[in-house]
């Protein structure tokens, strides 16, 4: 007879399940096989819903078989089954024994037949029958509830896919089938604990078979990944994939290839296997980074995944001496920090160099996960642009407050962000910001000094009758709110929102937050050649609430508290034949279950003018919140969003206005108040002006018997420390910003114009010219399809002089053809040729298959422009390359894989085959 095959418990179970259905009353199974000595000999098997005891014994003689059977019969368990494995031919056994055996003969082990039975198939793909490892694995891995039973023929793909799902622990999809696989899923699986451990425990032949199948399904990244897992380094696989980009770094130092080879060891069969693996890893990480941007539990989990990989990659790079080669890598956390340090150095040179360095920072993949650091970096470059511009001049008080709201308040906004430092904690970046802040504050101090000198002379005579070109705070409602009350056919009464203490810097931030889909900003039409701009008024002096707010709401220079404000507000509007109601803090919020007070809602629903005083900003100056904030948003102001929504609902125009600005305390710890005579408040006193102070007197000075001393320097205070102060003579305190909004352009008053958002932003706030993000240096395999040179004989796998060839790549050749140029005419907003070339090269290097994420990552790396929606980007590339509908680029596996048909690409675009 033939050589006995080795069987184990699982094959015995499969034989019993198959054979006992045809001989249910038999208890003896004779099998021509050899039982694995390491397998259990007594166990339980479930057959047709019944648990049966099984004993397996390996015998090499007739007497041994007879003895085993007799001993079984003598045992008390009447249902126990006996399986005898032996090479004794059935003809050597007596008929009395063979009569008790299933089939009355010695059964042979036909693995193919067993597999057919397990899958409920009538036939097997011949390839399955030829692969012994696959048959053994399918029998061994059968799940407790059985394999899925689909169709009459079990194909090799269906069999291996089912096996992969069980062996890799990927779970089941709908209908009990194994889930679909792509590179993203396999790379994510490599980060688990149980799955890779199970793969390592498989026989080498099965690992090789699964690797071969996965390579054909998901691309050439699979062999490297699975080799690393088999070597026990699955947890480091993605980190190593990130480091693989160093091979294509143009300035990689000598020894880089050897260092990388040491990290991969023998797991990398060929240097050509590395680029597709690296591309796939980068594509998967790009998807995870996109998920990590979400402010949710899943976003936090994705962020943890990203940093677990990238922090480990940084650690491995440092251990292998690859830190310099990967210094500005577009994925590594160390690369982002290095780019920030480069920006810090550029801030000391020129705005142009800083602009380029900023773009390099923003092009880093992790920039999306560090919005605060990127926000600070943008602010630094904005301040540098402003410093690079002409020296500001304060020609008059009116021009000064107007310029402050339009220009210098934005500087204060940026400086508030920079003062908090770099959230990533880079000391070099912090020092660069510190020096930049110092330069900007020196210039701002010069502006304040000029303004204080103008203010001192102007205040002597300024009044409503003679404002000397300035808008006075007591004239704001008459000049700007009254026209809103009479505008349009509906003549809806306005909502006047007084944001106590709102500076020009905060007003600029809130203006950016306004939803332009439902609100339109408007301003009085400009006079002369000057363009339209937001309005800014001059506060009363000193710039404190009891004077400035009362004057604003009453329409006359006065002082007083809430009762006086309410009375003055009603009287002002009565003069314009309107009823008006003013709401202060205690009357704004609603009872439990209501956002706004019923009385306030009734007023908003009525015909009268409504005024609301919001104290959030001014309160923050007292209670310390301002010192911890770098940004004010609409939602940060209590009730503001609710009031804006209500005003829109009732069709009311809105006037956002302050009563005065403020300065933030930036003094170092331990510095106390300035000792001076006649102190009345934090920022004003009586007496004689000293350094950094100015004497103010005249009809607008409603304290100190008409004459006060106020500091123009921001660092002077006369009282204990708070988060911020007002009452002084700095331009930030005296400027009163105003923003007018209408819910419909039909409410535009006569003599007013629309103010587009772009027109309210200083010219230096954005780049002087449209500057694309700096293209990444060639530091990853995903951005170019060029493969490193093959290792020369005797040099080892990673030769130190591996460099990319200078000849044009396939992608370069395609995008230079006339056919490609013609195709672009049919595609609106076609991507850059660089991006398309990079996609072709990346797919070619990866064996023709990549995920959409990896494709988008290749394009991003080549151009520096992020592809936010990989699927849409791939669709556009299809339209460019699929000439006359022929599938050069295809989405397969339900859109999870991008496939490039290279021969068809050559044919359609006339490029030469290699």
Does 617 score more than 90 pLDDT?
A: yes
| Between 666 and 828, the higher pLDDT residue | 666
496-542 pLDDT, tens digit each: 999 999 999 999 999 999 988 889 999 999 877 677 899 999 999 99
Contacts of residue 590, defined as CB under 8 A and 6 or more positions apart, other chains included, come to: 596, 597, 598
Range of lowest pLDDT (303-317, 752-766, 868-882): 868-882
3-state secondary structure of 278: helix
The answer to whether residues 132 and 149 touch, using CB atoms and an 8 Å cutoff, is no
pLDDT at site 774 = 33
Buried-state track 676-687, b at ≥16 Cβ within 10 A, e below 16? beebbbbbbbbe
pTM score: 0.78
- How would residue 107 be classed by pLDDT, with cut points 50, 70 and 90? confident
Q: Looking at residues 649-672, what average pLDDT do you find?
A: 94
Residue carrying the six token digits 């002089």: 801
pLDDT band at 249 (very low <50, low <70, confident <90, very high): low
Lowest-pLDDT choice from 451-460, 653-662, 786-795: 786-795
Across the range 401-411, mean pLDDT stands at 98
Spatial contact of 224 and 277, defined as CB atoms under 8 Å apart: yes
Residue 808 has pLDDT above 80, yes or no: yes
What CATH class has 810-909?
A: mainly alpha
Domain ranges of the chain: 6-109, 124-179, 180-319, 333-446, 455-765, 810-909
For residue 739, the tally of other CB atoms under 10 A from its CB is: 27
Mean local confidence (pLDDT), 396-417? 97
- Which one of 519-533, 618-632, 640-654 scores highest in mean pLDDT? 640-654
pLDDT at 880 over 50: yes
Which of the residue ranges 644-648, 800-804, 907-911 would you say has the lowest mean pLDDT? 800-804
Q: If pLDDT is split at 50, 70 and 90, which confidence band does 793 have?
A: very low
Decide: 153 and 121 in contact? Cβ < 8 Å.
yes
Q: What percent of the chain has pLDDT over 70?
A: 92
Average pLDDT score over residue span 114-129: 88
Confidence at residue 729, expressed as pLDDT on a 0 to 100 scale: 98
Which residues, in sequence order, are CB contacts of 238 under 8 Å at separation 6+? 187, 190, 191, 281, 284, 285, 309, 313
- Whether the per-residue pLDDT at 214 is higher than 70: the answer is yes
- What's the mean per-residue pLDDT of the chain? 88
Q: What is the pLDDT confidence band of residue 103, given thresholds at 50, 70 and 90?
A: confident
Distance CA 777, CA 780 (A): 8
Residues paired with residue 541 on neighbouring β-strands, in sequence order? 701
Name residues whose C-beta falls within 8 Å of residue 434's C-beta, 6 or more positions apart in sequence: none
Q: Hey, is 91 helix, strand or coil? A: helix
How many Å apart are CA 319 and CA 325, to the nearest integer? 13
Average pLDDT over residues 883-898: 85
Q: Is the pLDDT of residue 189 over 80?
A: yes
Stretch among 8-12, 146-150, 326-330, 450-454 having the lowest mean pLDDT: 146-150
Which residues pair with residue 29 across a beta bridge? Answer: 83
The mean per-residue pLDDT over the stretch 686-715 comes to 96
Choose the weakest-confidence range: 44-53, 245-254, 764-773.
764-773
pLDDT over 70 at 626, yes or no: no
Burial class of residue 801 in the structure, from the number of CB atoms within 10 Å of its CB (0-12 exposed, 13-18 middle, 19+ buried)? exposed
Residue 122 pLDDT grade (very low, low, confident, very high; cuts 50, 70, 90): confident
Instruction: Of 613-617, 624-628, 673-677, give the lowest mean pLDDT range.
Output: 624-628
Structure confidence at residue 150 (pLDDT): 77
More confident residue, 546 or 218: 546
Looking at the predicted structure, is the pLDDT value of residue 592 above 80?
yes
Residue 516's pLDDT is what? Answer: 84
pLDDT of residue 40: 94
Considering only CA atoms, give the Rg of the chain: 39
| pLDDT over threshold 60, residue 791 | no
Closest CA to 831 of 858, 796, 800, 794: 858
Residue 593 CA: distances (Å) to CA of 196, 348, 644: 53, 55, 19
What region does 656 belong to: left with phi over 0, alpha with psi -120 to 50, or beta? beta
Label residue 867 by pLDDT band (50, 70, 90): low
pLDDT tens by residue, 155-182: 999 999 999 988 988 877 666 677 778 8
User: Does residue 623 contact residue 723 with C-beta atoms inside 8 Å?
Assistant: yes
Please tell me what DSSP assigns to residue 760. Answer: G
Kindly list the distances between the CA atom of residue 177 and the CA atoms of 148, 213, 346, in Å, as whole numbers in the listed order: 6, 17, 57
148 phi and psi angles, rounded to 5 deg: -65, 140
pLDDT in tens, 39-62: 999 999 888 778 889 999 999 899
**What pLDDT is recorded for position 629?**
64
Q: List the structure tokens of 150.
A: 């689909």
3-state secondary structure of 833: helix
Over residues 748-763, the pLDDT tens digits come to 999 999 888 888 999 9
Question: Tokens 């395609």 map to which residue?
Answer: 814
For residue 316, the model assigns a pLDDT of 93
pLDDT > 80? residue 674: yes
How far is 739 from 536, CA to CA, in rounded Å? Answer: 9
Roughly what angle, to the nearest 10 degrees, separates helices 545-554 and 562-574?
A: 20
3-state secondary structure of 225: helix
Round to whole Å and give the CA distance between 484 and 342: 50
- Distance (Å) of CA 780 to CA 219, 291, 361, 459, 707: 18, 22, 17, 64, 69
Q: What's residue 798's pLDDT? A: 41
Look at residues 862, 694, 658, 847 and name the one whose alpha carbon lies nearest to residue 777. Answer: 862
Decide if domain 455-765 falls under CATH 2.30.29: no
User: 345-382, pLDDT tens digit by residue?
Assistant: 999 999 999 999 999 999 999 999 999 999 999 999 99
Residue 864 has pLDDT above 80, yes or no: no
**Is residue 777 pLDDT above 70, yes or no?**
no
pLDDT for position 529: 63
The answer for residues whose C-beta is within 8 angstroms of residue 193's C-beta and 6 or more apart is: none
pLDDT attached to residue 488:
42
pLDDT tens for residues 279-292?
999 999 999 999 99
**Tokens 């039909």 appear where?**
746
Q: How many whole angstroms separate alpha carbon 662 and alpha carbon 535?
A: 18
Count the helix, strand and coil residues of the chain and give each as a percent rounded to the nearest 5: 50, 10, 40
């Amino acid at each position: 007879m033939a050589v006995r095959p080795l069987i184990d418990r699982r094959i015995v179970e499969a034989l019993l399940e198959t054979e006992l259905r045809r001989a249910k009353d038999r208890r003896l199974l004779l099998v021509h096989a050899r039982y694995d000595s390491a397998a259990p000999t007594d166990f339980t098997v479930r057959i047709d819903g019944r648990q049966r005891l099984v004993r397996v014994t390996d015998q090499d003689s007739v007497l041994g078989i007879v003895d085993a059977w007799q001993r079984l019969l003598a045992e008390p368990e009447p249902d126990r089954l006996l399986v005898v494995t032996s090479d004794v031919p059935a003809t050597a056994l007596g008929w009395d024994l063979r009569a008790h055996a299933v089939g009355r003969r010695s059964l042979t082990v036909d693995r193919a037949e067993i597999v057919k039975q397990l899958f409920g198939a009538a036939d097997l793909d011949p390839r399955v029958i030829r692969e012994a490892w696959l048959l053994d694995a399918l029998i061994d891995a059968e799940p407790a509830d059985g394999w899925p039973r689909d169709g009459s023929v079990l194909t090799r793909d269906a069999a291996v896919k089912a096996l992969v799902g069980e062996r890799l622990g990927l779970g089941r999809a709908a209908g009990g089938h194994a889930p679909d696989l792509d590179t993203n899923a396999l790379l994510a699986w490599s980060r688990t604990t149980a799955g890779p451990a199970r793969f390592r425990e498989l026989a080498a032949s099965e690992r090789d078979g699964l690797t071969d199948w996965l390579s054909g399904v998901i691309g050439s990244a699979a062999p490297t990944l699975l080799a690393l897992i088999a070597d026990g380094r699955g947890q480091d696989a993605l980190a190593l994939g990130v480091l693989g980009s160093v091979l294509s770094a143009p300035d990689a130092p000598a020894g880089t290839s050897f260092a990388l080879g040491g990290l991969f060891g023998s797991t990398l069969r060929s240097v050509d296997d590395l680029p597709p693996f690296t591309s796939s890893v980068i594509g998967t990480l790009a998807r995870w980074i996109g998920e990590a941007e979400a402010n949710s539990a899943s976003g936090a989990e994705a962020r943890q995944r990203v940093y677990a990989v990238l922090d480990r990659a940084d650690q491995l790079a440092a251990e292998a001496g690859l830190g310099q080669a990967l210094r500005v890598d577009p994925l590594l956390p160390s690369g982002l920090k290095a780019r920030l340090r480069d920006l810090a150095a550029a801030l000391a040179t020129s705005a142009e160099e800083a602009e380029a360095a900023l773009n390099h920072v923003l092009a880093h993949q992790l920039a999306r996960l560090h919005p605060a650091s990127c926000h600070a970096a943008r602010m630094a470059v904005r301040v540098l642009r402003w410093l690079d511009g002409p020296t500001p001049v304060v020609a008059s008080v009116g021009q000064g407050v107007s310029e402050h709201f339009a220009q210098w308040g934005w500087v204060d906004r940026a400086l508030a962000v920079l003062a908090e430092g770099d959230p990533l904690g880079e000391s070099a970046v912090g020092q660069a910001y510190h020096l930049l802040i110092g330069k900007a504050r020196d210039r701002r101090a010069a502006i304040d000094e000029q303004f204080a000198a103008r203010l001192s002379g102007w205040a002597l005579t300024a009044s409503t009758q003679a404002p000397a070109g300035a808008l006075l705070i007591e004239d704001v409602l008459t000049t700007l709110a009254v026209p809103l009350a009479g505008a349009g056919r509906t003549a809806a009464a306005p909502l006047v929102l007084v944001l106590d203490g709102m500076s020009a810097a905060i007003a600029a931030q809130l203006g950016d937050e306004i939803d332009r889909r439902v609100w339109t900003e408007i301003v009085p039409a400009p006079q002369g050649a000057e363009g339209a701009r937001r309005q800014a008024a001059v506060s009363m002096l000193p710039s404190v609430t009891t004077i400035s707010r009362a004057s604003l709401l009453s329409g006359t220079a006065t002082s007083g508290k809430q009762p006086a404000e309410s009375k003055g507000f009603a009287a002002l509007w009565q003069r314009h034949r309107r009823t008006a109601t003013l709401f202060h803090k205690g009357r704004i919020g609603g009872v439990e279950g209501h956002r706004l007070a019923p009385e306030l809602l009734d007023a908003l629903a009525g015909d009268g003018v409504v005024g609301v005083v919001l104290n959030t900003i001014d309160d923050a100056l007292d209670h310390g919140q301002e010192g911890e904030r770098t940004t004010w948003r609409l939602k940060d102001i209590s009730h503001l969003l609710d009031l804006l929504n209500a005003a829109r609902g009732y069709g009311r125009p809105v006037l956002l206005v302050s009563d005065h600005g403020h300065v933030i305390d930036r003094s170092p710890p331990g510095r106390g108040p300035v000792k001076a005579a006649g102190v009345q408040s934090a920022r004003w006193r009586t007496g004689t002006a000293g350094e950094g102070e100015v004497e103010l007197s005249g009809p607008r000075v409603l304290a100190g018997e008409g004459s006060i001393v106020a500091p123009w320097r921001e660092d002077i205070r006369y009282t204990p420390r708070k988060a911020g102060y007002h009452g002084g003579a700095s331009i930030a305190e005296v400027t009163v910003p105003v923003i007018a909004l209408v819910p419909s352009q039909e409410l535009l008053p006569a003599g007013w114009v629309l103010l587009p958002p772009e027109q309210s932003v200083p010219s230096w706030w954005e780049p002087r010219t449209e500057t694309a993000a700096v293209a990444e240096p060639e530091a990853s395999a995903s951005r170019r399809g060029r493969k490193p040179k093959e290792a020369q004989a005797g040099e080892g796998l990673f030769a130190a002089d591996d460099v990319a060839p200078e000849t044009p790549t396939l992608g370069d050749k395609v995008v230079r053809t006339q056919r490609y140029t013609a195709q672009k005419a049919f595609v609106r907003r076609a991507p850059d040729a660089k991006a398309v070339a990079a996609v072709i090269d990346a797919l070619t290097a990866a064996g023709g298959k990549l995920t959409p994420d990896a494709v988008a990552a290749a394009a991003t790396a080549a151009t520096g422009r992020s592809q936010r929606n990989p699927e849409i980007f791939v669709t556009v590339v299809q339209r460019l390359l699929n000439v006359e509908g022929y599938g050069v680029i295809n989405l397969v596996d339900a859109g999870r894989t991008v496939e490039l048909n290279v021969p068809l690409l050559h044919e359609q675009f006339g490029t030469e085959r290699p």
